[in-house]
Amino acid sequence: MERIWTDRTIDAFFILLRSGLEEKDIEHPLILTEEEWEDILSVSAMQTVTGQVARGIAHLPAGNDVPDMILMKFMKKTDHIVRTSAIISEVRDKLVSAFRSGGLDPVIMKGPESASFYLRPELRESGDLDIFFPGDSFEKACDQVSSMGIIMDKAPDGSVRYLFEGIEIDQHQKYFDLHTERQLPEVPGPYATLLMLSSHILKHCMTAGVGLRQLCDMAMAYRALEDSYDKTALAAMFERTGLESWNKLLASFLEKYLGCRSHPYSQDELRDPTVLMDIIMEGGNFGHHAVGRQKAEKGPLSARKKDTVARMLRRLPFSLKYGRKELFCYFAELVRGNL
């Protein structure tokens, strides 16, 4: 994807994003051209963090000029985000209630769970709902969905997708995007949430791409859950699951760009997160904005799959370094799912 923004725009973007995530005032004014403000609006949308950047704008010092049109555009987008969040919350409650009346207990994961870690949950963009059912209850849940007259599509990883009250539901039988069975933490729980978020980001880094929203989720989860876990135990869990290098890289990014120090590593364990920044900036929001991806998504399914494979091959050096075992498993899953 061509870079459309200047280093100054990127620096300003991250200042605003950090401020919005922490709801902290920005000390110095940001003097930007109207074009640079438009770029910030554009990057915010691509990275699905418009709500958080808008909050950052609210925290600019008094007298910091921001073009009226930019303010209007941010307000319109955040209004839409808040409305969608309310709809998803309502649908989530209805769906959970429906499953519970059938004796089942879904675990809400990813988007809506992550939103709860934010200081302003309603501003965390969500488009769908992810729910998890362990063991046998997954098939029972599928039976219950069928009995409601809803048609499900099966994904290569064994999850199913369907529409419920107009919202896309991803129903999972695997909580973690991992193929190791080594002493995985209990679900639900803080260790499980952090491992799930971390492995999910890694999976997308190795495949279609990932956006800042997911990194923000991780940062906010680290902060919100800080008193609920032991950092030594967390680091040990990451090591046990073969994701120590990956989580050190992730922590480095979260600290450098999002100001998050609530991770389990010391300064000398952190590393240069540039490679992760490059992946994020390539597309944003699971790579949907990368030029090739947008074209592929408008084409047939085969084009999308071809694009995904091409990306996986491009990211091979990264994947071999940070997620070797998972990479081979993802390839196998992709092949099995498409036979």
74 vs 118 by CB, closer to another protein: 74
90 vs 239 by CB, closer to another protein: 90
What is Dmax (Cα atoms) for the chain?
A: 61
Residue 72 contacts another protein per CB under 8 A: yes
CA angle at residue 22 from 253 to 47, to 5 degrees? 55
* C-beta separation of 114 from 129 below 8 A: no
Residue 75 contacts another protein per CB under 8 A: yes
72 vs 233 by CB, closer to another protein: 72
DSSP 168: E
**List 71, 275, 277, 334, residue binding another protein (CB under 8 A):** 71
Number of residues located near another protein, criterion CB under 8 A: 15
122 vs 333 by CB, closer to another protein: 122
Residue 199 contacts another protein per CB under 8 A: no
Q: How far is CA 33 from CA 47, 58, 214, 338, in A?
A: 21, 18, 29, 48
Kindly tell me the sign of the dihedral angle through the C-alpha atoms of 35, 276, 183, 143: positive
Crossing angle, helix 34-46 and helix 7-22, to 10 degrees? 60
Question: Contact region for another protein (CB under 8 A) — 15-23, 71-79, 288-296, 307-315?
Answer: 71-79
Residue 24 contacts another protein per CB under 8 A: no
Residue 96 contacts another protein per CB under 8 A: no
How many C-beta atoms surround the C-beta of residue 308 within 10 A? 17
* C-beta separation of 50 from 44 below 8 A: yes
Residue 45 contacts another protein per CB under 8 A: no
Residue 49 contacts another protein per CB under 8 A: no
Q: How far is the CB of 51 from another protein (least distance, A)?
A: 11
Q: Which residues bind to another protein, rule: CB under 8 A?
A: 54, 57-58, 60, 66, 68, 71-72, 74-76, 78-79, 82-83
